[in-house]
Amino acid sequence: MSVKISLHITGIVQGVGFRPHVFRLAHELGLGGSIRNDAEGVFIRLMGAQHKVDDFIEKLRSAPPPLARIDGFTLIADDGSDLDETRFVIEESQAGGEAQVVVSPDKSMCPDCLADIRNPSDRHYRYPFTNCTNCGPRYTLIKALPYDRKHTSMAHFAMCAQCEAEYKNPLDRRYHAQPVSCPNCGPKLSLTGPDGSLISSDAEFCLDECARLLKQGAIFAIKGLGGFHLVCDATHEEAVSSLRTRKVRPAKPLAVMVKDIAMARSFADGAQEEWQLLSSRERPIVIMKKAAEQHRAVPKDTQHRELAASVAPGIDRIGLFLPYTPLHALLLDSVDRPLVATSANRSGEPIIIAAVDIHQKLAGVVDFILDHDRPIVSGCDDSVVQWCAGQLQVIRLARGYAPLAMLSPKPSKSHLMAVGPQQKNTLGFGLGHNLFLSPHIGDLFSIEAEDYFIRTLESFKRLYQVEPGCVVADHHPDYAPSRFARRYAQSGDRAIELLTVQHHFAHILSVMAANSRSEPVLGFSFDGTGLGDDMSLWGGEVLLCSATHFERLGGLMPFALPGGDKASSEPWRVLLSLLAGHLSASQLQGLPCFAHLSQPMLNNHLKVIGRPGTLQSSSMGRLFDAAAALLGICQRVEFEGQAGMLLEAFAARATGPIPTLVLEDKQGQWDGAALLVSMLEQMDTLDTSPECLANAFINAIADAIAEKARHYPNLPVALSGGVFQSRTLANATAQRLSQQGLKLLPWGQVPVNDGGIALGQLWYAVHSFGQ
């Protein structure tokens, strides 16, 4: 006897080969019925013997398509009056309904497509836009749901007969791959000058000429999946230095794209987990340790070249990633050497997605542009990750991982929108049980960045038909997103509630959300800055957190920030503030780190430090900066986090015994000044190397965290904030907590820095709004 049922499935179920997978499974089991996409997911109707239906459900749940993720799986009664037990069909998609589909992130090219572009007998040979159901662009080209070609930037490319036949064949791996195309019908390359003047639109010439010019030292803007890269030969010191000069990026590390794992191993040392991350479907930039010269592996049959010294100066880490599009793979095959591939933008602005902006903004930076005519709907930068504390740590959430979708056990009472922080901004949206985190938007200090923020917000509202009943923002009233949230809540006819969440509380909430936890946790929130409830700048906080409240248990003892914002770029200012209460003016004058200050200048700074009303901070990030200044590592910060990176690189070079330093706890507050004075005494009396002292400083922070956590043995520990991007600190802290039998909550795919703030804001709203 036949049974008739319907299944409603939500999650990442569109654009990932879900329908052909179901079609093949139904045929294999001899079931009739249908499947279709709609804005809510996929809807399957089945008719057949009970044991076959049961087998179908078990196989689909346990082994969905590789790129799919099932969030909801609901059985619905079906009278089956129009079903045919002998025939299973794929129906046209339907629009309408509240969107519950999770838009898939862009995926790197699959091995099958890579084989196609390298096969001279295949019609996709050397075609830079080859893709199939298992790979290729998604988020960056979709305009609306459901995910069909007419709703993407491929809509105006009419398929040729061969592509259409593959597209319509459920047994073909290109079935309903929306960007499917070939050299006869798809996007085309073009090679132009920096002003857009056409050099060639012949695909073969464009590829070959680009490779030839790169090897000669040219700087290119190359259009990828989510935007343009600035590209040059990473072994060509003159080219890399020229790129830095033209882009006014003097010191910040540059990411390097390598041909394959073999080439990567010649530049980096890594654990097995790091190599797995590098070759994962997401193809992120992976921060790894530079290979030691004596251990450097040289690929066979490849002319070995050293990376230019200016790729990542002064630090022991390198950011590597593998080609993730056919275009990148073809170029790397041709040049057979590593390429710098950094985001094409002006400092503080979002990644550029259209050639016209390269002409207008970066014409003086690039020598040539390799463009194509497939429009990018939504920009998306490259993801940046590292492996530390025994787990994945996301530094920049973007291509491959984002949009990030999570399930919340507790549904939101209304649509929620979280506008995130001022720096490393991402946006968050809550719809029912679904929480979404946008790709990295960036620092909102320019009109262009704020425009990108608005475009991303409108894109998500359009995709998911979001009508927020609640907007969540940071406590800081002058952050651009906070100002936007106030305006948004007051606009229109509908009542929209505005919630604000303290910055460091939101950091810990993001870790709680990643672990679907609402019960109390012990949080350590360490970063550069964030407005505290007492209107000072927090950043070294110990917090007892639930999903709706927090208690500040302690943290770093506040200190003055002479010069305000200047203190973040001139670490000696913070150091002077911390040492002022412990050393006389003459003693301070004698320190090498203050040699640039005349006696009158020093006295003026000391007066500012002691003046009532001077801005106060408890920032752990600034304490790291001060330690770097004390050790003579960094006197001026060229990019955010530089002092911490240099300090960590210094610590990694430590040889010999590491002294013991202590971050003293004085009535719940850590005395950062006393720690620096101890370092100074070690330098003066024991002649301890700066490298060993840098290592001891980081160990002291880890020891202090573990000691504080020891007093709360029943609470899991959450670490969040940009300071924990220090692998040395994160590893040391995790080790100590483990030795004490304490549980460390994993970060999952949620950024540890401010990129996770919007998710923390959402988690607060889910548990607070409408309660």
Active site residues per annotation: 19, 37
Nearest C-alpha neighbor of 677 from the set 739, 745, 626, 616: 626
Q: DSSP letter string over 235-298? A: T-HHHHHHHHHHHT-SSS---EE-SSHHHHHTTEE--HHHHHHHTSTT--EEEEEEPPGGGPPP
Q: DSSP letter string over 543-585? A: EEE-SS-EEEEEEEPPEE-TTGGGGGT-HHHHHHHHHTTTS-H
β pairing state of 428-431 and 416-418: antiparallel
Distant-in-sequence, close-in-space partners of 712: CB < 8 Å, separation ≥ 6: 522, 544
CB 602 within 8 Å of CB 572 = no
Q: DSSP letter string over 485-519? A: HHHHHHSSSS--EEEEE-HHHHHHHHHHHHTT--S
Distant-in-sequence, close-in-space partners of 630: CB < 8 Å, separation ≥ 6: 575, 593, 676, 679, 680
Query: CA–CA separation, 706 vs 508, rounded Å?
Result: 17
Structure tokens at 194: 């920096």
Q: Dihedral through CA 457, CA 460, CA 466, CA 471, nearest 10? A: -40
Strand (E) positions, 357-496?
A: 368-372, 384-388, 391-396, 404-407, 416-418, 428-431, 434-437, 470-474
CB 12 within 8 Å of CB 405 = yes
CB 436 within 8 Å of CB 429 = yes
β pairing state of 198-200 and 521-526: unpaired
Query: CA–CA separation, 651 vs 515, rounded Å?
Result: 32
Which amino acid is residue 528, in one-letter code? G
Q: 740 in helix, strand or coil?
A: coil
Number of residues written out for the chain: 771
Q: Dihedral through CA 276, CA 281, CA 285, CA 288, nearest 10? A: 0
Nearest C-alpha neighbor of 691 from the set 736, 627, 734, 740: 627
Query: CA–CA separation, 549 vs 413, rounded Å?
Result: 19
Query: CA–CA separation, 754 vs 675, rounded Å?
Result: 27
Query: CA–CA separation, 682 vs 695, rounded Å?
Result: 13
For residue 758, report the phi and psi dihedrals to the nearest 5 degrees: -60, -35
CA-derived radius of gyration, the chain: 27
Q: DSSP letter string over 588-641? A: HHTSGGGTTS-HHHHHHHHHHHHSTT--EE--HHHHHHHHHHHTTS-SS-SSTT
Query: CA–CA separation, 663 vs 239, rounded Å?
Result: 45
Nearest C-alpha neighbor of 530 from the set 555, 498, 499, 496: 555
Instruction: Please give the C-alpha separations between residue 632 and each of 19, 61, 738, in angstroms, as whole numbers.
Output: 61, 58, 34
Which amino acid is residue 467, in one-letter code? E
